[in-house]
Amino acid sequence: MPQASVADQAYPNSAVDWISKLISFDTTSRLSNLDLIDFIRSYLERQGLQCVLTHDRSGKKANLFATVPSASGRTTGGIVLSGHTDVVPVDGQAWTSDPFAASIRDGRLYGRGACDMKGFIGVTLQLVPMMLQARPAQPVHLAYSYDEEVGCVGAPGMIEDLVKRGVNPAGCVVGEPTSMRTIVAHKGINAYRCRVHGHAAHSSLTNRGLNAIEYAARIICMIRDIADGHKADGPFDEAFDVPYTTVQASMIRGGIALNTVPDLCEFEFEYRNLPDTSSEEILSRIRAYIDRDILPRMKDEHPSGRVEIEELAKSPGLDAAEQEAITQLVRALTNDHEVRKVAYGTEAGLFQKAGVPAVICGPGNIEQAHRPDEYVTLDQIAQCEKFLAALIGSQVPHGA
């Protein structure tokens, strides 16, 4: 929806007002997030903070990174509070209220992104004046990314930039919805598009064509075999809600007419690997099957046959070390010492890969994410405020 210029905007005061304002920006991943980013940047700059933006290639999307210095003026080390600004589509969903106009009913704040994850971002922004007044013992970094929902595409540029600038945070809390419980691990995300190229012919002359759909189907069945193998034989990690690596084909397109041999079939597939399971091994098995079994048969039928695999998204899993200072601190502040691991992916694995220890903890229940009438409870917002206020007042040493 169109937004007024940032100069005309009134900035919210409470966390609920902040979350409601953020929901009003339609930042569905297929759209630009710049209106929201400009609004946040204007607010932070008026608070005297410097914002660093990293854009995508089109210039239509951006990450925002800002630092609240420590009492001594230090801007390195400290804690990162990380959240993504994009949301999933509402197309075809039966909402009982406008998904981009927040509403409160029965102790719940409704709207697209309310829990995933504008709830967390709204709380962090509401606490900025408190941070500046309290003059924390260590810097607090605000990291807001784009395109997390399509495979954690935006955050790598922001993380690469903070590494180059020597920010060197001691820890990161990614505020995905966990019902304010501590999550110490998640799976890796790997997404690909496979294009199977055949040769078109009239369906009465199938011997002169090469059916791309039929060979794509063979590859998809092999992918299912890999999935069945992991489900039956592991490896397993029972701390995960789904305790094995999962693999699936998800979207497929091909053919132009019933009486035409299809010359192209495209499908997407993904796998979510346990953190200690090689993500490359699965792709290597698929490529080996194509090279060994599929391509020779295709070439026997027609020399134009070929198969291409394109990487769409790739993000590492998270396996937070219990001895890391950020893990111990978040556990202490939430009074939560149960080991929890989740099948969905987050940007925490990217921070860990860059040398920044990370855990996941944020308001809302993941079961509400992506659904119609998405909501976060007001109680969860209040718990998040209390948690972050305590976190900001704590010290996270390096190397603990």
Per-residue pLDDT band for 397 (boundaries 50, 70, 90) equals confident
Tell me the mean pLDDT in the region 308-315.
94
Which domains can be identified in the chain, with CATH numbers? 6-185+316-392 (3.40.630.10), 189-315 (3.30.70.360)
Report the alpha-carbon distance of residue 140 to residue 66 in Å, rounded.
8
Strand 201-202 relative to strand 358-360, pairing:
unpaired
> C-alpha distances in angstroms, 202 versus 210, 254, 263, 299?
11, 15, 11, 19
pLDDT tens-place string over residues 346-388: 999 999 999 999 999 999 999 999 999 999 999 999 999 999 9
**Percentage above 90 pLDDT, the chain:** 90
Nearest to 172 by CA among 329, 384, 334, 14: 329
For residue 54, pLDDT over 50 is answered with yes
pLDDT at 6: 47
For the CA atoms of 329, 331, 333, 335, the dihedral, rounded to the nearest 10 degrees, stands at -150
Burial of 312 (0-12, 13-18, 19+ CB in 10 A): middle
Which structure tokens are listed for 295? 């391509």
Tell me the mean pLDDT in the region 7-19.
82
Q: Region of 73 please: left (phi>0), alpha (psi -120 to 50) or beta.
A: left
pLDDT at 77: 95
pLDDT tens-place string over residues 174-220: 999 999 999 999 999 999 999 999 999 999 999 999 999 999 999 99
Contact predicate 18/12, CB 8 Å: yes
Report the alpha-carbon distance of residue 151 to residue 279 in Å, rounded.
15
Nearest to 119 by CA among 39, 178, 38: 178
For residue 172, pLDDT over 50 is answered with yes
Report the alpha-carbon distance of residue 30 to residue 50 in Å, rounded.
28
Flag the least confident range among 225-239, 317-331, 369-383: 317-331
Top pLDDT among 3 and 85 is at 85
* Mean pLDDT of the chain, nearest integer: 94
Tell me the mean pLDDT in the region 65-74.
95
Per-residue pLDDT band for 323 (boundaries 50, 70, 90) equals confident
Tell me the mean pLDDT in the region 326-338.
95
For residue 70, pLDDT over 60 is answered with yes
210 DSSP assignment: B
For residue 7, pLDDT over 70 is answered with no
Tell me the mean pLDDT in the region 258-265.
97
Per-residue pLDDT band for 400 (boundaries 50, 70, 90) equals very low
Per-residue pLDDT band for 9 (boundaries 50, 70, 90) equals low
Q: What is the CA radius of gyration of the chain?
A: 23
